[in-house]
Structure 1
Amino acid sequence: MSRVLAATRVQLISWPAMVSWPWGILASSFLINLAVFALIADEMPDDPRTGGLVSIYVVVMIGAAQTITQFFPFSLGLSLTRRTFYAATSLLLVAESLVFGVLLYLCSLAERATDGWGLSLGFFVMPFMQNDNPLAQILIFTVPFIVLGYIGMFAALVLKRWGVGGLYLLSIVLLLLLGLLAVLVTWQHWWPAVGRWFADQSALALFAGWPALLALLLAGAGQLLMRRTTA
């Protein structure tokens, strides 16, 4: 455990970038949305919503991928094992996600307290992501960070293992699988049932429960791939 914590401290060398880039881009997205909706306040619909919140999740995913591409070779040079490095990276991802989830929850409280920043604007508070329980709401904000982080790490490991060609091949396979699944659902006329299934799920299940299972699968797949990946 001490070596895992030591490996985590190595990665924390870049903590200013880990914090400034995601929140800087989110702040930019927020200010742009705020300015746009303020200008069209007389024309916008009731309780407008914006998808600008997704920006911070995308940046965290890219940051997780860069952790593999930038720190993995350096960590091996420090005689850290692949298992130790992966455990440290996972620990840091979960901790970062939890901190960001709490901060987003605090931002959502501020948005509610100010009636959507005086514009009834929903930037941090999305109806389909809301839960009255504070802990559940924090999990709803947190778990997607973890899932996307593992997606970024897995993609980076594929890139390290098989190069750009491997990453393209993985993308093609995923697109084909999703396409075949869509064809099957259409052929069997399952779309109404699929829609009902999603409608019956709570926000906690959709954004924390099921994604947590996906995160575990991605974590295991990444661990297996890490064993055969070279710097």
Structure 2
Amino acid sequence: MTRVRDVARIQLVHWPALLAYPLGFVAAMPLLGLAIDVSNGETAGGPHEIYLLPALWGMAAAGHLQSMTQVFPFALGLGVTRRTFAAATALVVTAQALFLGLVLVAFGAVERATGGWGREARLFGLGVVRQDGPVTQWLAYTGPIVAVSAICVLAGVVFQRWRQTGMYLAVLGSAAVLAGFGALAKAQRWWPSIGAFLGAQPSLTLFAAGPLAIAVALGGLAWLVLRRATV
């Protein structure tokens, strides 16, 4: 475990990408929300939601792509095993997501205390999340960050294994699968049933258990590729 923590500290060499930039974005979200409201003429338009959290997920996860493409070759040069690096990556991803989730809970509390930043805007306590308490909120904020981070880790591993060709094929293949499923769902009229099913799920399932399952699956796939990745 000590070795894993040491390798995790190596990954934190680019801490601005992992923590500083996401925290800066969170702090700027109320101002960004105000700018969006002003542009839409909604500064006094009653309760409304502004969806900026997906941008935060991508920003928080991007640092892990950098870990796989830059820190991984360096760590192997120091004699770090692939298994240790993978464990350290999982530790960093989890710790970052939990920390940012806690920050989002705090900003959500400020949002409620200020009446939606003084204009009934909701950037953190989104109705779609249906958070019922601080712990549920924390897990609901954490889950998507972990899942998107797993996507970036897998992308970085694919790049290390197959370079640009692998990335192009992965993107095109993923787009083809998603487009094919979308077309099939439309042809079979599955979307109403899918929407009803998702809408009936509790927050912990949609935003914690579901993303965690996705992260575990993608993490397992990343490990299978990482075992043969070269530098």
Where does 1:1-231 land on structure 2 (aligned, <5 Å)? 1-37=1-37, 45-231=45-231
Gaps spanning 5+ residues in structure 2: where?
A: none
What code does the residue aligned with 1:46 have? G
For structure 1, the 5+ residue unaligned runs are none
Deviations 1:79-101, CA, capped at 9 Å, x for gaps: 00011011101101101100100
1:91 is matched by which residue type in structure 2? L
Q: Give the conservation status (yes or no) of the 8 Å contact 2:34–2:43.
A: no
Is the 1:48–1:122 contact (alpha carbons within 8 Å) kept by the matching residues of 2? yes
The Cα of 1:13 is off from its aligned counterpart by: 2.6
Counterpart of 1:48 in structure 2: which amino acid? H
Quickly say closer, same or farther: Cα 1:191–1:40, change in 2 above 3 A.
Answer: closer
How much does 1:40 deviate?
A: 6.3
Conserved in 1, the CA contact under 8 Å of 2:17 and 2:60? no
CA distance in 1, matches of 2:215, 2:66: 18
Shift in alpha-carbon separation, 1:43–1:122, aligned structure 2, 3 A: closer
| 1:144-197 deviation line (CA, Å, top 9, x unaligned) | 111111100100111111111211111111111112212222222222211211
Question: Using the alignment, how far apart are the partners of 1:153 and 1:211 within structure 2?
Answer: 15
Q: Could you tell me how far apart the structure 2 residues matched to 1:16 and 1:220 are?
A: 27
1:60-82 superposed Cα distances (whole Å, 9 cap, x missing partner): 12111011111001101110001
Please say if residues 44 and 119 of structure 2, whose CA atoms lie closer than 8 Å, have aligned partners that are also in contact: no
The residue type equivalent to 2:187 in the other structure is W
Counterpart of 2:63 in 1: which secondary structure?
helix
Contact 2:18–2:64 at 8 Å: present in 1 too? Answer: no
Cα-to-partner distance string for 1:28-54 (whole Å, 9 max, x where unaligned): 343122244267666654212111222
Work out the CA distance in 2 between the residues paired with 1:57 and 1:194.
24
Looking at structure 2, the residues matched to 92 and 190 of structure 1 have their Cα atoms a distance apart, in angstroms, of 38
User: SS at the partner of 1:80?
Assistant: coil
Higher mean alpha-carbon deviation, 214-223 vs 124-133, is at 124-133
What's the TM-score, normalizing by structure 2? 0.93
Distance 1:227 1:49 in 2: 43
| RMSD value, Cα | 1.8
Give the count of matched residue pairs. 231
